[in-house]
Structure 1
Amino acid sequence: MKLVNVSVKRPVGVIMIVLAILALGFMSLRNLAIDLYPEIDLPIAVVSTNYPGAAPQETEKLVSEPIESSVSAIEGMETVQSQSQTGASIVFMQFNTGVNLDNALLDVREKVDQVKGMLPEGAGEPNVLRFDPQQIPVMWVGLTGDSPEELQQIAENRVVPFLERQEGVASVSIEGGKDREVRVLIDRGQMNEYGLNTQTIIQTLNAANQSASAGAVEKGDKDLQIRIDGEFESVQEIKDTLLQTEGGAQIRLGQIADVEDTYEDASTISKVNGQASVVLSVLKKSDGNTVETANNVTAAMGDIKERLPENVNMKVVLDTSEFITQSIDSVMMNIIIGGVFSVLVLLLFLKSIRATLVIGISIPIAIISTFTLMYFTGETLNVLTMGGLALGIGMMVDSSIVILENIVSYRQQGYSMVEAAKEGASELAPAVIASATTTIVVFLPIIFVEGIASELFTPLALTISFALIAALIVSVTLIPMLSSKLLTKPLQTSGRRYWFDRFLAKVNEGYQSMLRRVLKWRKTTILVTLLAITGSGFLVPMIGTEFIPPSDQGQIEISVTTPAGTSLSTTEEVTGKVNEKLKPYEEVIETNYVTIGGGGFESFSSSANEATYTMQLVGPGDRERSTSEIMQAIDEDVSGIPGAEIAVSEIGAGFGSGAPVQIQLNGPDYDVLSELADQVVYMIEDVDGVHNPESSTNEGRPEMQVQVDRDKAAQYGLSYQQVLSQVELGFNGQVATRYRDGSDEINVRMILPEEERQTIADLEGMTLQTPTGSLIPLASVAELKQVQGPVTLLRENQQRQVNVESEIVGRDLGSVSEDIRKELERLKFPDEYSYEIGGQAQDMQEAFGDLALALVFSIFLVYAVMAVQFENFLFPFIIMFSLPTIIIGVMLGLFTTGLPLSLPAFVGIIMLAGIVVNNAIVLVDYINILRRKGIDRYEAILEAGPSRMRPILMTTLTTVLGMIPLAIGLGQGAEAQQPLAVTIIFGLTISSLFTLLLIPVVYTYFDDLSNKVTGWFRKEK
């Protein structure tokens, strides 16, 4: 090849190109973004619409259903889901993978605009926006001090603005603080005495709190702007606001109301390690990087701390980037260890430091070159892409080994260093390119299939392909050039490592003896192989299946739900009992962050009867139990706490949409669906592996309904809206104006005094002011009823739905799903009612289907590449018989290590389809070479096998040993690559053994068949 000749003739040029590539690679590495997993593009749009005062049933019928109908016909739509709550509708639209969400959002807005006029009066403007379910805070920062009020001010005025200016930060939200508020506590008796009503007071406050421009006047050669500043400058000015009575007299606001400078009622309480705190959650921009954003925020915190008061402390509560960084560091360490193993294998076989150096240098060059290709294709440094480099570390040297061995062969024949490099590399370059191509083409189908499997593993496929391409280029350019300069003498055939040569000789003798036996007992060999393949298939049910292996991120979530309607203080009392149960775990809990009155960062709503704990455990090396084991222990301890439903789960344990198991019950009536959901929960809670099954139907919230009699209200001159606004003002308050204090804008809220709005009796005894100024009791125009308010109503694809969700513990997802399916088949569903198993179980099933299709196409591509290489259809077909033996090693490996068949393991099987044929290619090709020289078939096989044993052992051992660190699961975040590495190690090892014995037997059968066919054609002629 010309490329080889040029590289040997121009070593300085090659070195300069390599240095330039290395420099570019290091620059690319510095600019590569770091993340845990590849970013999955889930095209999801959301339409949110407010409908104040409407019950969930009204919201569903009048808002959710019209919007669902309008958007469901949009091209590329996969699923439409809706949540109808009290006063709000949320419609989720998930599009097919690959749909351009920007274009889809335009279509959604167009459809929503068409139906907007059909929405009921009182419904707000529908908001259309994109939604990213993976968009969770990258960091939580806690502020602790003397009072939540002071911390709120500091957070709003100093910390949040500074953090939001940092690169990569999208927004910072505040939890646990209290906002300042000026309250005007009205006295209805006094108001009535002076003939005033609330609307008059609100209009007067607004008018009195105004600033305006009144033109300009000349002063010399300048125009001075006239500005009338009438805004309130103190709370006293609000008290002194003049009100005009009906009789024309003027009174001050303070005469009919108490004006207080206070704080809003707390809706949430945040505690960090038991101490009341204000917690800031930092969201990154959609195109921002988690690690970079977290680093920028951490650096900014160092600057802010110096300017905070002495009594205020700021610290990181949770940082999601820490696990990412630790995982990447672990993979980097595995790459280094794998590289060392590969180099040791080379040194053992080659018995030459110089020869090992020639090949070993290709590893870092290939890796660094890969970073450049990753940068220009927009990939990130994540657990899977870095795992791809770790997996490919052994395969990178395969091409170089073959080239170097041939160069050494020519060198031993007496060729000069330069000529040996030219001839040796040129002779095998086409074969090496073809061999590497078979490994690379298996990844093409993964790139082109759709779904989450492609989204996850395309970056891994590209990374390994880039690494192999870089290694291939190095093998045909840099290896010949270095060989022409460094291989001053042939490799040693004796010396202190002669023991290894004797060992290899014994291995070759044993292998040759085995070859004689299998060639003598060909049918027995085929039968034993078939039995081994069949027997390995029986291991599949014992192995089980799962989606993505869970990662031990050391995070646990406790969800506390007290009965609907429970007050914030009562829920806080329950969390106190939970805290008592958590005391024995203080040694393993690094940070304990609880939000009372919030639904957690994944929730769309919050309530006073909910509390969420987010706990970060100490590192795995500092605790004896795994996160899952600690989670189960805590679950047992807190399960007996009365007055609340408590669910304990592991954060970040899975991957995919929703809970591991999600049973979707569909039908026309919510009451029936709720009953079915309760039955399903009861049936599956005894299934082994099911943990905390829950129904999406919750106990209704108790509420007091005020049913206004419009006719009676009209008799007093009151409209329905006036009754509603007076009740709302009395118990919830109404913002009359905003008071500016420095840079803060504070609500001035009119509301009844607290003692007049606490009990049901206060509501029943509330007085309404009529337009004539008289006071009437609320009961004279309305009937009060205490009812159980409805819950959130769910729909999917325009059909009502109730979900039952469950975590899994101690078993694989596939086995648990199958057992649940059997239980559900026993349940008799009424007509028009059905169920589906969704969540990660559905994602797993779809992903396995996509990867199975990719595997079929990969095998076809491998055959096509070999047919081109051999220019023959028969020999590639013989080589393909090495593929079925993969199943033996894969099943044996997973069974031995106790790992289920997961998506990474399936990708490992696809990779094996391109790897295992290389050994068979080497063997069959050399048999053909010997036969063309006139050697008998039997003798050719006996000679080709042992002579090819050395390169086969070298390439297999470098690949296998390079993956051992990943297979052991060293470091954090290694769980995702472990099944892939185990699959390749066992699959390649076992299939290599079968290949060395089975392929010669298959070769003889097809050669006999070919001879018979050829003889038959000759007789016909």
Structure 2
Amino acid sequence: NVNLSGNFSLSELKGFANDLKDEFESIYEVSKVNITGITDREVKVYLNPFKMAAMQVSFTDVENAVKFENMSISGGEAKIGKIDRSVRIIGEFKDPRQIANIIVKRDKGNIVYMRDIATVVYGFKERDSYSHLDKQPVVTLQIVKKSGENLLSTTSQVFQVLKEARQSKMIPDNLKITITNDQSDMVKKQINNLENSIIMGVIFVVAILFLFLGTRNSLIVGFSIPMSMLIAFMVMGLADYKINMIVLFALILALGMLVDNAIVVTENIYRFVQRGYPVKEAARQGVGEVAMPIISSTATTLAAFLPLVFWHSIMGEFMKYLPITLIVVLTASLFNALVIVPVLFVDFYKPGDNNPLPKTKRSLRLAGLFSVLAVIAFVAKWNVLGSLLVVAVVLGLLNLAFLTRLAIWFQKVFLDWLENTYLKFIRFAIRKNNAYWMIAGTFLLMILTIGFYFGSKPKVDFFPSSDPKLINVIAEMPISTDIRVSDSVMQVIQAEVYKLIQPDMNIVKSVLTVTGKGAVGQNEGFTSRGGAPNKGIITINFVDFQDRHGINTFNIMRRLADSLIGRYPGVNISLEKQREGPPVGYPINIEISGKEFGTLLRVTDSIKALINRNNIPGIEGLTMDLDIGKPELLVKIDRDKARRFGLSTGQIGDAIRTALFGKDISDFK
């Protein structure tokens, strides 16, 4: 959402919004752009019923007068000499003031003009919503992306349009532009997390394996992480799988399992090399010996995730990307371990590479070369490549200083001590009756674990809750409340919200207040109605978690709930936080069915009142999916009297609706 605000009139904001809308819609990835917060312009004809009655003018007379004057029609063709000319009658209004001068009725020489019975105003439609961003009126452009298009690319082009609009003075410098509901932020963070996890995973894997296998062998295993990811991306690309939140989560989850097979294969090949086998023969023997075990091990892991693919309902559609991604990535890691790792080992392994002391001159030359390349990369703004080169230089220098000697000590001293300690423990465990005590202790620990789990009755939550990124304060006034009254109530609630969050304003990014259309929360029961004139919502957006200085937004939510709920008579206030995971609806739904609709409403209302009276802990908002109690006026027509005046029920109903609600009778272009 692109929100426009500032010291401008609504019509000026609407003009800026229309200009930006044209630019946004020229982006290929954008499907449509909706403008909210202001209504379209229209010509309003305010009729005086008393003057109409005095001059015997009906609504139908006014409607026909405007319709038949505001039109352009074809008049056929006229033959002028030897040329046929098309004839077109131009009658559309070019100025709203022309409407005031049309003749509505002519009777016995008496002419009634529109200006005699009405006032013509060129303004805006009656508002069905009010929006305020940080206490200022706001016009919002809702940008909708085409299905399947790249979200990050679309967002980047939107920001580029805004930048160019500033530079070209299409929009003034003092126009405030606020971006809300930017879904690309979360995607960027997840991608950054994935990149950081891959880099850190490679570094830690190489560092740990360096102690066991030496420099080259550890690099070979570390290479399996990006290689497995590359293979997985190729397969998912061929299957037309898009990168989404669940796929990114699955990739991060799979990082810890990617190197398992490569470690086993590399270690076994290295074992054969230590036994004196040639490198190629060691690779053949090493892979052949562990191929079936790692295949079966990977298959059991995949089997654990496979049932999730067949998960039904909307949750299945949402979660199926998790098992599919894990299956693809782990299969890619198996292929990498059995095919690619042996080849790399044969090509890059050198005898005695497990603990050689580094060659100082060569290491320093490589460090200097990588440093120069890193500087060039940073100058060219290839920051990722530059960072990787800096890491390589640092690791190389550390290796030159002490890492290789540390690896030698680890292999010669620490591993020997660890093996001897392990052998002593095994001898103790299998001595005489000790094995039985070990088995009994294992079963006892299992029983205690199961008993503790069921005895403590741990809470179950489908998706874990975290500090909310946004909080919605939802207010519902009585049915049929005028939208202007609802907006005035929302202003009072908004002022109180600002007082309550004032101590923590340093972590509040924006406060958006919407009344009427668009005032919808996240829960299914509320969003399904799309807002109403008697409803409003205040959305509090917070800064990112790392910028909150330890402030818990849950506490802010509880503070708002304690102060606002039940404070305003006749106003039902509830709070909700940002929903985690897929749309699963309410935690608890009570369905009430019956044959008599009136009885059904009374029972439902009594159950709702009963739950509210008991003050059950944990219930923050109790709502029904049906609005009841809306007052209405019933008009009963005396058909005999209506016939005497030549009126039908349809004519009377149309006249009443026109008098109360108005009627669209023509288009002003």
TM-score (norm 2): 0.82
Aligned to 2:210, which of 347, 352, 360?
A: 347
Q: CA contact under 8 A between 1:317 and 1:593: conserved in structure 2?
A: no
The question of 1:531 aligning with 2:444 is answered yes
Residues 251-301 of structure 1 deviation map (CA, whole Å, 9 limit, x = unaligned): 422223222223223221110110011122233344445444433433333
Quote the residue 2:192 is aligned against: 329
| AA partner of residue 342 (structure 1) | V
Residues 851-903 of structure 1 deviation map (CA, whole Å, 9 limit, x = unaligned): xxxxxxxxxxxxxxxxxxxxxxxxxxxxxxxxxxxxxxxxxxxxxxxxxxxxx
Runs of 4 or more consecutive aligned structure 1 residues displaced over 6 Å after TM superposition: 218-222
| AA partner of residue 367 (structure 1) | M
Query: In structure 2, what is the Cα distance between the partners aligned to 1:454 and 1:721?
Result: 51
Deviation at 1:697, TM superposition (A): 5.3
Q: CA contact under 8 A between 2:42 and 2:668: conserved in structure 1?
A: no
**Distance 1:421-1:665 versus aligned 2 partners, 3 A rule:** same
The question of 1:254 aligning with 2:254 is answered no
Quote the residue 1:711 is aligned against: 640
Q: CA contact under 8 A between 2:32 and 2:143: conserved in structure 1?
A: yes
Quote the residue 1:627 is aligned against: 553
Identical aligned residues as a percent: 25
**Distance 1:521-1:158 versus aligned 2 partners, 3 A rule:** same
| AA partner of residue 141 (structure 1) | N
Query: In structure 1, what is the Cα distance between the partners aligned to 2:248 and 2:531?
Result: 39
Give matches, 1:657-806, under 5 Å. 657-668=584-595, 669-683=600-614, 685-687=615-617, 689-696=618-625, 698=627, 700-740=629-669
TM-score (norm 1): 0.55
Kindly tell me the number of residue pairs found equivalent between the two proteins.
597
Deviation at 1:346, TM superposition (A): 1.3
**Distance 1:198-1:416 versus aligned 2 partners, 3 A rule:** same
Give matches, 1:519-668, under 5 Å. 520-538=433-451, 539-540=453-454, 541-552=456-467, 554-583=469-498, 584=502, 585-598=504-517, 599-600=519-520, 602-623=527-548, 624-639=550-565, 641-643=567-569, 644-668=571-595
Q: Secondary structure at the match of 2:409?
A: coil
Deviation at 1:221, TM superposition (A): 8.6
Query: In structure 1, what is the Cα distance between the partners aligned to 2:81 and 2:174?
Result: 53
Deviation at 1:199, TM superposition (A): 0.8
The question of 1:501 aligning with 2:415 is answered yes
Q: Secondary structure at the match of 1:739?
A: coil
Residues 919-946 of structure 1 deviation map (CA, whole Å, 9 limit, x = unaligned): xxxxxxxxxxxxxxxxxxxxxxxxxxxx
Q: Secondary structure at the match of 1:691?
A: coil
Query: In structure 2, what is the Cα distance between the partners aligned to 1:692 and 1:193?
Result: 55
**Distance 1:736-1:462 versus aligned 2 partners, 3 A rule:** closer
Deviation at 1:605, TM superposition (A): 4.0
Query: In structure 1, what is the Cα distance between the partners aligned to 2:157 and 2:586?
Result: 32
Deviation at 1:372, TM superposition (A): 0.9
Quote the residue 2:429 is aligned against: 515
| AA partner of residue 243 (structure 1) | V
Q: CA contact under 8 A between 1:647 and 1:692: conserved in structure 2?
A: yes
Deviation at 1:710, TM superposition (A): 2.8
Deviation at 1:366, TM superposition (A): 0.9
Give matches, 1:219-618, under 5 Å. 224-288=85-149, 290-305=151-166, 306-309=169-172, 312-350=175-213, 352-452=214-314, 454-490=316-352, 491-492=354-355, 495-497=408-410, 498-517=412-431, 520-538=433-451, 539-540=453-454, 541-552=456-467, 554-583=469-498, 584=502, 585-598=504-517, 599-600=519-520, 602-618=527-543
| AA partner of residue 726 (structure 1) | A
Query: In structure 2, what is the Cα distance between the partners aligned to 1:559 and 1:591?
Result: 16
Higher strand share: 1
Query: In structure 2, what is the Cα distance between the partners aligned to 1:626 and 1:354?
Result: 47
Query: In structure 1, what is the Cα distance between the partners aligned to 2:424 and 2:4?
Result: 68
Query: In structure 2, what is the Cα distance between the partners aligned to 1:194 and 1:673?
Result: 53
Q: Secondary structure at the match of 1:390?
A: helix
| AA partner of residue 663 (structure 2) | Q
Between 1 and 2, higher relative CO (CA 8 Å, sep ≥ 6) is seen in 1
Residues 704-761 of structure 1 deviation map (CA, whole Å, 9 limit, x = unaligned): 3333333333333322222222222122112222222xxxxxxxxxxxxxxxxxxxxx
**Distance 1:449-1:621 versus aligned 2 partners, 3 A rule:** closer
Deviation at 1:670, TM superposition (A): 2.2
Query: In structure 2, what is the Cα distance between the partners aligned to 1:237 and 1:575?
Result: 40
Q: CA contact under 8 A between 2:566 and 2:572: conserved in structure 1?
A: no
Q: CA contact under 8 A between 2:311 and 2:320: conserved in structure 1?
A: no
**Distance 1:739-1:488 versus aligned 2 partners, 3 A rule:** closer
Residues 306-346 of structure 1 deviation map (CA, whole Å, 9 limit, x = unaligned): 41356644332332321232233224323332332222221
Give unpaired runs (5+ residues) of structure 1.
1-138, 741-1021
**Distance 1:381-1:271 versus aligned 2 partners, 3 A rule:** same
Give unpaired runs (5+ residues) of structure 2.
357-406, 522-526
Q: CA contact under 8 A between 1:178 and 1:266: conserved in structure 2?
A: yes
Deviation at 1:197, TM superposition (A): 1.9
Query: In structure 1, what is the Cα distance between the partners aligned to 2:316 and 2:53?
Result: 71
Query: In structure 2, what is the Cα distance between the partners aligned to 1:406 and 1:203?
Result: 93
Deviation at 1:486, TM superposition (A): 2.7
Q: Secondary structure at the match of 1:735?
A: coil
Q: Secondary structure at the match of 1:213?
A: strand
